Chain A
Amino acid sequence: MVSLPPDGLSDLFAVLVQQGWRLVGPTVSNGAIIYDEIQSPDDLPTGWTDHQAPGQYTLEKRDDKRSFGYVVGPQSWKKELFLPHEVVQTSSLNNGTFHWHGANPKPAPTAFIGVRACDLSAIGIQDRVFLEDTYVDPHYQARRNATLIIAVNCTEAGALCFCDSMGTGPQAGPGYDLCLTEFDDCFLVESGSDRGEAIAAQLPATSAKPAQQAALTTAIDDCRQQMGRTLNTDGLPELLFGNLEHPQWDAVGDACLACGNCTLVCPTCFCHAIDETPDLASGPAVRERSWDSCFSEEHSHIHGWSFQPSIKDRYRQWATHKLSSWHSQFGTSGCVGCGRCIAWCPVGIDITEQVAAIQNSPAEPAPLPGFKPITWHERKDPLQAASARIQHIQQETHDVATLKLHMPDDYCDQPGQFNMLALPGIGEVPISVSGNDGKTTEHTVRNVGNVTAAITSLSVGDALGVRGPYGSAWPLDKMPGRPVTLIAGGIGLAPLRGVIRHLVSQTRDPATEWVSVIYGARDQSALLFSNELKQWSTNPAVKVAVTLDRASANWRGNVGTVTTLLQRKHQPDHGIYLMCGPEVMMAAVTRQLSTDGVPPENIYLSMERNMKCATGHCGRCQYGPHFICKDGPVFSYAQIRPLFGKPGF
Chain B
Amino acid sequence: MLTNQQLKKYSFFKPLTDERAEAIIASAKTTNIPADTEVLREGQQADNLYLVLEGRLSLAMYVPGRPPEKSIVSTISRGELLGWSALLPGRMWQATARTLKPTRLLVINGAELRALCDRDHETGYSVMKHVLAVVGQRLTESRLQLLDMFAHPDD
Contact in complex: A521, B67 (CB < 8 Å): no
Q: What residues of chain A lie closer than 8 Å to B149, measured between beta carbons?
A: 489-490, 549, 581-582, 584-585
Interface string of B130-142 (1 = CB under 8 A from A): 0000000110110
Query: Who on chain A is nearest to B74 by CB?
Result: A560
Whether A374 is near chain B, meaning CB under 8 Å from some CB there, is no
Query: Who on chain A is nearest to B79 by CB?
Result: A568
Distance between A600 CB and nearest chain B CB, rounded to angstroms: 20
Interface size on A, residues (CB 8 A): 35
Query: Who on chain A is nearest to B154 by CB?
Result: A304
Interface locus among A119-127, A196-204, A319-327, A551-559: A551-559
* Distance between Cα atoms of A490 and B149 in the complex (Å): 9
* Distance between Cα atoms of A635 and B141 in the complex (Å): 25
Q: Which residues, 78 to 128 on B, are CB-close (under 8 Å) to A?
A: 78-80, 100-101
Distance between A607 CB and nearest chain B CB, rounded to angstroms: 16
Q: What residues of chain B lie closer than 8 Å to A560, measured between beta carbons?
A: 74-75, 141, 145
Contact in complex: B137, A564 (CB < 8 Å): yes
Known pairs A561-B141, A567-B137; A521 contacts B77 (CB<8 A): no
Interface string of A581-594 (1 = CB under 8 A from B): 11011001000000
Contact in complex: A584, B144 (CB < 8 Å): yes
Whether A17 is near chain B, meaning CB under 8 Å from some CB there, is no
* Distance between Cα atoms of A560 and B80 in the complex (Å): 13
Contact in complex: B137, A522 (CB < 8 Å): no
Q: What residues of chain B lie closer than 8 Å to A554, measured between beta carbons?
A: 69
Query: Who on chain B is nearest to A562 by CB?
Result: B144
Contact in complex: A564, B154 (CB < 8 Å): no
Contact in complex: B150, A490 (CB < 8 Å): yes
Distance between A48 CB and nearest chain B CB, rounded to angstroms: 53
* Distance between Cα atoms of A224 and B121 in the complex (Å): 74
Whether A7 is near chain B, meaning CB under 8 Å from some CB there, is no
* Distance between Cα atoms of A199 and B119 in the complex (Å): 99
Whether B26 is near chain A, meaning CB under 8 Å from some CB there, is no
* Distance between Cα atoms of A74 and B92 in the complex (Å): 72
Contact in complex: B153, A304 (CB < 8 Å): yes
Contact partner of B77 among A490, A522, A568, A582, CB < 8 A?
A: A568
10 extra interchain contacts, Cβ-Cβ under 8 A, other than A556-B56, A558-B77, A564-B74?
A304-B154, A520-B150, A522-B150, A551-B58, A551-B70, A553-B69, A555-B72, A559-B73, A563-B137, A584-B144
Could you jot down 21 A-B contacts, CB within 8 Å?
Answer: A304-B154, A399-B152, A448-B152, A520-B150, A526-B150, A547-B75, A550-B145, A551-B72, A552-B70, A553-B67, A553-B70, A556-B56, A557-B100, A559-B75, A560-B145, A561-B140, A563-B141, A564-B74, A584-B144, A585-B149, A588-B144
Contact surface of A with B, Cβ cutoff 8 Å: 303-305, 399, 448-449, 489-490, 520-522, 526, 547, 549-561, 563-564, 567-568, 581-582, 584-585, 588
